Amino acid sequence: MRVNGEVVAETDAALTLREASYPAVQYIPLDDVVQGRLKCSDTATYCPFKGDASYYHLTTADGQTVEDAGWTYEAPYPAVAAIAGHLAFYPDKADVGVGS
- pLDDT tens digits along 4-58: 778 888 899 999 999 888 888 999 999 999 888 899 999 999 999 999 999 999 9
pTM of this structure:
0.87
Class of domain 2-89: mainly beta
Phi–psi pair at 88, nearest 5 degrees: -115, 145
pLDDT at res. 21? 87
Q: Is the confidence at residue 88, as pLDDT, over 90?
A: yes
Select the more confidently predicted residue: 11 or 77: 77
